[in-house]
């Protein structure tokens, strides 16, 4: 992933998964067997294709195999999902599928038949829903290379006093902090490449200078 700064960013990893449609059902691991296939409702399982998109002027079509671009202090990246159904699909899906097709026609993205169709490995699917949401601050920090336990929600003030105070950060502040940060993997790589000769290790009970590159 490219460096996350406060000035601009646009990414797109792709992932597909099978969703279970039992109302209150909870998710299950992607490497576990598929749940029971029932007689009605197309087995209560549904293929969902998810990807990360960007909303940044007219530049909204990044390559799927490109690293994530710069993250800004404003929301420009989101998770998008398309729910797919293999025809023939259930009658209760028709109205929503037509709405998806109309939406894409209005944005000059679909000029085909009544329903939006996709062909994946010689199998045809109909797009019956599209969902979008912006990336959360935690997701942005993870994409930037920060560990999961890195504290981004706020800061302790007055640690030198008997009663320190936790000051929470608003969402826009968290995003801004990500935007002006330096991704740890890149910083580590630069320091290792340029200052490896300054690294000191412990070997045989004595400090030894490690010469690199």
43 and 98 co-located in one domain: yes
**What is the DSSP track for 19-74?**
EE-SSSPPP--TTSPPPPPPSSGGGGEEEEEEEEEE-STT-----TTSPP----SS
Is the same domain home to 151 and 57?
A: no
Per-residue confidence (pLDDT) for residue 126, from 0 to 100: 87
Q: Quick one: which of 124, 125, 98 has its CA closest to 113?
A: 98
Q: Which of 113, 137, 161 is the last residue of a domain?
A: 137
Are 91 and 53 found together in one domain?
yes
- Structural domain includes residue 176: yes
Looking at the structure, tell me whether residues 174 and 107 fall in a common domain: no
For each of the chain's 213 residues, which pLDDT tens digit applies? 445 444 444 444 445 566 666 655 555 666 666 666 655 554 556 666 666 777 666 556 666 566 667 676 667 777 776 666 665 678 888 898 999 999 999 988 898 889 998 887 787 888 888 877 788 899 889 988 899 999 999 999 999 999 999 999 999 899 889 888 888 988 889 988 998 888 766 444 444 444 444
pLDDT of residue 9: 43
Q: Are 83 and 128 in contact (CB under 8 A)?
A: yes
Are both 158 and 192 inside the same structural domain?
yes
| Domain total in the chain | 2
Q: Are residues 152 and 132 in the same domain?
A: no
Domain housing 38: 14-137
């Amino acid at each position: 992933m490219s460096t996350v700064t406060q000035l601009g960013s646009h990414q797109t990893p792709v992932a597909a998964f099978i969703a279970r449609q039992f109302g209150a059902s909870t998710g299950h691991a992607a490497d576990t067997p598929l749940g029971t296939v029932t007689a009605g409702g197309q087995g209560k399982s549904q293929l969902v294709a998810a990807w990360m998109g960007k909303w940044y002027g007219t530049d909204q079509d990044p390559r799927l195999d490109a690293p994530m671009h710069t993250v800004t202090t404003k929301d420009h990246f989101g998770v998008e999902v398309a729910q797919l159904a293999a025809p023939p699909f259930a009658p209760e899906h028709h109205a929503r599928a037509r709405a998806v097709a109309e939406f894409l026609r209005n944005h000059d993205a679909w000029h085909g038949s009544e329903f939006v169709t996709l062909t994946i490995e010689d199998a045809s699917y109909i797009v019956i829903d599209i969902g979008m949401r912006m990336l959360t601050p935690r997701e942005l920090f993870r994409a930037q290379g920060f560990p999961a336990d890195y504290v981004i929600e706020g800061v302790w003030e007055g640690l030198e006093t008997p009663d320190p105070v936790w000051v929470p950060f608003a969402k826009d502040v968290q995003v801004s902090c990500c935007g002006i940060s330096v991704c740890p993997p890149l910083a580590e790589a630069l320091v290792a490449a340029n200052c490896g000769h300054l690294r000191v290790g412990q070997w045989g009970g004595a400090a030894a200078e490690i010469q690199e590159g």
